[in-house]
Chains A and B, each alone.
Chain A
């Protein structure tokens, strides 16, 4: 959507109308296809032909060739990054080949604003079965046997959580969908809410029957306005069809949902803080026990699950626990959606079976690192997670293996990093994030993350000492063990994990005053090689602070005091000249010949 898909769609619809093909070609605007790097995307059914990186200018050719003449257009098809022939069918594209779609099963084939389309693909069959033919105990048993675990981060067995709540006496009980996807780099939940909202609704209806709730809340973060809108539309349509409200499907079961918007606080993704937010309070987490299943929203038994968890439920009920548990590993069943972003060719959303190797995600599905750079690490689990280095690329993805490696499944954000990423800088980035999002209630997190961030800032500025590493580790222990909630308890993970696998990088910053990846501004330096400079003035014009001086055909010079290390000169210098050199270590550090720009050109 954000890449101009609406404009393309309008152009396509107009062209089809102009050619009089409305009865032969139906244009359906679906939700996210997952292959975000290549948007706007067009999928032609029933051929299964996949077009990508389209613009309105491509419309006349596309309609003329493929729709009228039946000849697919290779020029607009996907070509693998390593080169080769265009791949016409989606199912053959590496990005899609390795995926198993359960939660994203409706990807690319339904209009999320039309409930009939959801229903056409077995939608609400699970709810109908659960409400009409299953008891609460049976529903819980099915979900338990399937082995579904919470997809929001901690991986708590969903069936067990539901059972604990089901057993609590009395009413009311509540259901909550946690759509406060705050991990930077994660957008799976956004995609599900926008592209297949009914999957979430259906899951919650089934869950409501299981625990005995009559009301539920869908909490969506403020930064996702389209998701709020799509869920709103879905709720309206579901009510109209008698799938929400009183006496659902004539079974006598009452359940309805309302949307609650977040207001810009990452900590509201923590379950007790989210509850506080729905209650109209500051999003302060609360000491557990008691757990929400016993005492949650307004002190009542509450089940709170992540978007992706809810969206798994209808399939489990429809197709059975055995089917679901046939996918995945011994302890981690089913699939997981990951948002694959960062230094990766195929940026996008992927749903893969648990147990797939990290290597396959990065190289097969992800298409490897752009511009032939070297893989360095994958950060999994956002600010609560850690990095997996090259040596562990064969790690199978499941809850336990990731935790053992010092990372965390988290919500599924996978940030791929290459040799141009500085791991100390990444640790600082995450600590700053945590410090900014810390609610401030408990001392270890509020004060400890700040102190940790300050130490890291000094290290990246070339002012660190070895003692700082000891302090970091001691602080990490205090914050980890002393904090009140998961945000604080996991805040030190990025630091601990980068220290574990990339300690040499820290030492380089501290002892050698060098940033090997060439990122930390205080430690890098740009100079112009007088022997190579041709005096073209390009870098001079590109410099935003006018730190370069020189005349046409004369050697240019960078004023080191004025230079802000943005790297614009490096990008501007023509490839065949390569006169700008980036040094990774202040005045005395090593240089990196031929280093590319800090971002994709």
Chain B
């Protein structure tokens, strides 16, 4: 590299000048960074999607397309992988994420009832996000913390020995702070508005 080239690089001031992400959409820019992190390997597509979801919170169509472009992979393949694995959210997720464990130990200790209660309180079914994008309710097949059965995880915090009373307590701050208004036909009760 000759002197003027070096000067050019210095002037631009980027750490990795070849990434050229400034003119790209946020999804494409993020995809480029992540794909680069995994050396552009097509076999790492699952890890790439996971990484990207961590950055973007969920995988919009633009994000999936961006990965296909950056990896030079058919978009159908990316989409096929993204829809197979449950870790990926292809719909927007809420600010708060409530996960109820449905493992056997939790089930035997009343996990199904806990989930029903969450569904009622939040006015959502498992897998849904409230319209105002405040809360997402998810269920997961066993987190491996069976001593705490039945278990719910709220925004990363583990809450063991979950009961209806306990659920009301942990959900209160979420519901209070402008949480979801119940959707029509989602639960038998009304008047649970914040």
Write the residues of chain A forming the contact surface with B, with a CB cutoff of 8 angstroms.
2-3, 36-37, 39, 181-187, 190, 222-224, 260-266, 277-283, 339, 341-343, 347-348, 379, 382, 413, 415, 417, 421, 426, 429-430, 433, 436-437, 439, 542, 544-546, 562, 564, 566-568, 598-600
Instruction: Say yes or no: A36-B104 contact (C-beta < 8 A), given A263-B46, A264-B87, A599-B109.
Output: no
Q: Report 14 cross-chain contacts, Cβ distance below 8 Å, ordered by A residue.
A: A36-B145, A36-B147, A37-B147, A39-B147, A181-B144, A185-B146, A265-B86, A280-B81, A341-B146, A415-B105, A437-B141, A545-B189, A566-B116, A598-B113
Residues of B within 8 A of A567 (CB): 113
B164 lies within 8 A of A347 (CB): no
Residues of A within 8 A of B110 (CB): 598-599
CB-contact partner of A415 in B102, B108, B140, under 8 A: B108
Contact with A along B94-116 (1 / 0, CB 8 A): 00000000111111111001001
Residues of A within 8 A of B106 (CB): 184
CB-contact partner of B43 in A222, A278, A600, under 8 A: A278
B147 lies within 8 A of A185 (CB): no
CB-contact partner of A544 in B109, B117, B149, B158, under 8 A: B117
B141 lies within 8 A of A341 (CB): no
Closest-CB distance, B34 to chain A (whole angstroms): 14
Residues of A within 8 A of B158 (CB): 2
Residues of B within 8 A of A430 (CB): 104
A379 lies within 8 A of B146 (CB): no
Nearest CB in chain B to that of A571: its residue: B163
B85 lies within 8 A of A342 (CB): no
Nearest CB in chain A to that of B121: its residue: A544
Nearest CB in chain A to that of B148: its residue: A2
Nearest CB in chain B to that of A259: its residue: B47
Nearest CB in chain A to that of B71: its residue: A280
A342 lies within 8 A of B50 (CB): no
Residues of B within 8 A of A185 (CB): 103-105, 142, 146
CB-contact partner of B104 in A222, A415, A562, under 8 A: A415
Assembly CA distance A554 to B42 (angstroms): 70
A568 lies within 8 A of B47 (CB): no
B80 lies within 8 A of A184 (CB): no
Assembly CA distance A429 to B109 (angstroms): 13
Contact with A along B40-75 (1 / 0, CB 8 A): 001111110110000000000000000000000000
A223 lies within 8 A of B108 (CB): no
Chain A interface helix/strand/loop/mixed: loop
A222 lies within 8 A of B50 (CB): yes
B125 on interface, CB distance cutoff 8 Å: no
Nearest CB in chain B to that of A2: its residue: B158
Residues of A within 8 A of B84 (CB): 265, 282-283, 439
Assembly CA distance A104 to B117 (angstroms): 38
Assembly CA distance A566 to B142 (angstroms): 22
Nearest CB in chain A to that of B43: its residue: A280
Residues of B within 8 A of A342 (CB): 104-105, 108-109, 146, 149
Nearest CB in chain A to that of B147: its residue: A36
Assembly CA distance A291 to B35 (angstroms): 32
Seed contacts A264-B87, A433-B141; 11 additional CB < 8 Å A-B pairs = A37-B147, A184-B141, A223-B140, A261-B50, A264-B86, A264-B140, A339-B146, A341-B146, A342-B105, A546-B189, A599-B163
CB-contact partner of B188 in A183, A187, A223, A562, under 8 A: A562
Residues of B within 8 A of A341 (CB): 104-105, 146-147, 149
Closest-CB distance, B94 to chain A (whole angstroms): 18
Assembly CA distance A447 to B19 (angstroms): 47
CB-contact partner of A600 in B45, B85, B107, B109, under 8 A: B109
Closest-CB distance, A154 to chain B (whole angstroms): 20
Chain B: number of interface residues, binned into ranges: 35 or more
Assembly CA distance A265 to B82 (angstroms): 12
Residues of A within 8 A of B141 (CB): 182, 184, 266, 433, 436-437
Assembly CA distance A594 to B64 (angstroms): 56
Instruction: Say yes or no: A429-B43 contact (C-beta < 8 A), given A282-B81, A283-B84.
Output: no
Nearest CB in chain B to that of A222: its residue: B87
Residues of A within 8 A of B44 (CB): 280
Closest-CB distance, B176 to chain A (whole angstroms): 18
CB-contact partner of B46 in A36, A39, A280, under 8 A: A280
A281 lies within 8 A of B81 (CB): yes
Instruction: Say yes or no: A429-B104 contact (C-beta < 8 A), given A187-B145, A341-B147, A544-B117.
Output: yes
Nearest CB in chain A to that of B46: its residue: A263
B143 lies within 8 A of A566 (CB): no
B180 on interface, CB distance cutoff 8 Å: no
What 3 pairs between A and B have smallest CB-CB spacing?
A36-B147, A264-B86, A187-B144
Closest-CB distance, A21 to chain B (whole angstroms): 31
Nearest CB in chain B to that of A225: its residue: B156
Assembly CA distance A279 to B86 (angstroms): 18
B88 lies within 8 A of A263 (CB): yes
B150 on interface, CB distance cutoff 8 Å: yes
B160 on interface, CB distance cutoff 8 Å: yes
Assembly CA distance A304 to B176 (angstroms): 49
CB-contact partner of A187 in B45, B146, B160, B165, under 8 A: B146
Assembly CA distance A265 to B189 (angstroms): 35
A545 lies within 8 A of B105 (CB): no
Residues of B within 8 A of A263 (CB): 46, 49-50, 85-88
Give the most central of B84, B102, B120, B160: most A CB within 10 Å: B84
Residues of A within 8 A of B81 (CB): 280-282
B46 lies within 8 A of A544 (CB): no
Residues of A within 8 A of B116 (CB): 564, 566
Assembly CA distance A282 to B88 (angstroms): 13
Assembly CA distance A589 to B123 (angstroms): 33
Assembly CA distance A564 to B189 (angstroms): 12
